[in-house]
Amino acid sequence: MQSATPQMLSLPPSSSTTRIGTYVGIVGITAITAFGAWKAANLWREFQRSRELDQDTCRKQQNELKLLRISLDERQVEVEEKKKALKSTVEQQERLRSKLQEQERETETLKRQNRSLSEKVNQLSTANHKLEGELQRIRTEFEGTTDLLRRRTTELKGAQTFLTKADQIAGADVIRLVEELNAEVMQTAATMAEGVQIEEKKLQPGGKELESNVTREADARTEEYIGPRLTELLKTSEHHEDPILVQIALQAGMAAYVHWAISSWCFESQDDEHMLSEIYARVRETEEQAVSGRWRQLTRTHLQRMFVPTPDLSVGMVEMFTNVFLTAGLKGDAISIQQRLINHFMDRIQLVCRLAQQLNKHIGEGVTSCDLEVLFIADGAPFHSHTMEDSVGSDGIINDQEHVVCTTDLGLVRAEKISGTVGDWHEAVLLKPKVVLQSGLAGLIGEQAMF
């Protein structure tokens, strides 16, 4: 057996067998190597996954730990706050307990006071019943007294309305307004006389111009304002060179017109005005100044309120101017002359009318302590130097027996009833009216042109 073995081993292998074995070995080694590599790769991947899972788990645990720490901190803060709140609550309870004890002591004190007050209330209640009876009696007396006082107060208010003497405007202010009106009247008359040219007249034998129905009617109306003597002079005189006579006539006509406007009760018919003036004259004679002045004030106020709107006074003034110019010899019909005057002089005319209406209100309603009246001297009245002035100013000495031709500037007189008398008055001229005398006209137009 032992000798046979070495012989078998020593047999040389064949070449094909050797190649196959080599191939098989290589394949086996390759397979083993590939399997080992594959196994190693799998193991590595498993290791990587395991490692990633471990890292994930570690991160989650760290996050959870962080959250737990935050939660723990919050819990600790909450615990501290609750400790503080608990401490505050305990302190508050102590304060409330002390306060409660104090209030209990006060309650006891109040109970004692209440018992004392109850006793006083009972005493006062008894006294109150007695006082109520007395109060009822006094109340009845008071109601009677109050009713009497109310009646007396009503009566006194009515009396006070009439007895008050307080003026709404001073006399000096009224004088200033009259002077302002006079100045505006003079300026308006001068402007119109210069602005309206009158042609030379064609006089008939006897020194008169041929008259028509229109001029005759105008002459009659003009005479109502400026009087017959000045109207006749206006008709028979020439004005184309010097319109001074026309200016005087216009000024006199305006003075008469604004005198009516200032004195008017309600700017209505002459019959109504006359009746009211008669009534007032009787009141003035029999009543005290305060009563008559207040009666005038109330009557004018309420009468003029009844006639709203206030009549346009400029219409009547334009008609008056038209008649004066027609009488003086201005050619044309009344309507065309009126329109001419309105177009050129309406602003001045309306200003004069407004000033007259203001004076009507101030004199009629603003003054009750006395009577203020605008002073207008009628044509033909004798001249008195202590109550009027010569507006033309003749060179010679004025004779008190001379007569007035017309009034150019209004005056102002103050009249006050003497208390306790019937019809006795204290009068004073505050502003003298200015008048034109025959002598003054003679100096202006010459003696030969006079009547």
Instruction: Report the pLDDT value the prediction gives residue 151, as an integer from 0 to 100.
Output: 77
Q: Cα-flanking dihedrals φ and ψ of residue 170, to 5°?
A: -80, 155
- Taking the chain (451 residues) in runs of 10, the rounded mean pLDDT of each run is 43 65 81 85 86 87 89 88 88 89 89 88 86 87 84 64 70 95 97 92 59 82 93 89 93 97 87 88 86 87 79 93 94 93 96 96 90 94 92 65 92 88 84 92 66 50
Sheet of 434-437, strand order: 389-390, 434-437, 404-409
Distance, CA of 353 to CA of 311 (rounded, Å): 11
Instruction: Report the pLDDT value the prediction gives residue 9, as an integer from 0 to 100.
Output: 43
Instruction: Count Cα atoms within 13 angstroms, Cβ side, for 382.
Output: 5
Give me the residue spans of the domains in the chain.
170-197+211-445
Task: Decide: helix, strand or coil at residue 380.
Answer: coil
Residues whose CB is less than 8 angstroms from the CB of residue 192 and which lie 6 or more positions away in sequence, other chains included: 247, 250, 321, 341, 345, 348
Residue 439: in which H helix or E strand, if any? helix 438-445
Instruction: Report the pLDDT value the prediction gives residue 209, as an integer from 0 to 100.
Output: 58
Q: Beta strand 434-437 with 404-409: parallel, antiparallel or unpaired?
A: antiparallel
Instruction: Report the pLDDT value the prediction gives residue 78, as an integer from 0 to 100.
Output: 87
In angstroms and rounded to an integer, the radius of gyration of the C-alpha atoms of the chain is: 64
Instruction: Report the pLDDT value the prediction gives residue 15, as an integer from 0 to 100.
Output: 65
Distance, CA of 423 to CA of 287 (rounded, Å): 9
Instruction: Report the pLDDT value the prediction gives residue 7, as an integer from 0 to 100.
Output: 43
Distance, CA of 344 to CA of 338 (rounded, Å): 10
Contact yes or no for 210/201 (Cβ under 8 A): no
Instruction: Report the pLDDT value the prediction gives residue 20, as an integer from 0 to 100.
Output: 80
Helix (DSSP H) and strand (DSSP E) numbers for the chain: 11, 8
Q: Which of 329, 361, 367, 322 is nearest to 345 (CA)?
A: 322
Task: For residue 429, list its beta bridge partners.
Answer: 413
Structure tokens at 90: 């305990």
Distance, CA of 406 to CA of 391 (rounded, Å): 10
Instruction: Report the pLDDT value the prediction gives residue 395, as an integer from 0 to 100.
Output: 54
Distance, CA of 21 to CA of 218 (rounded, Å): 173
Distance, CA of 181 to CA of 187 (rounded, Å): 10
User: To 5 degrees, how large is the angle CA 71–CA 75–CA 77?
Assistant: 115
Instruction: Report the pLDDT value the prediction gives residue 447, as an integer from 0 to 100.
Output: 54
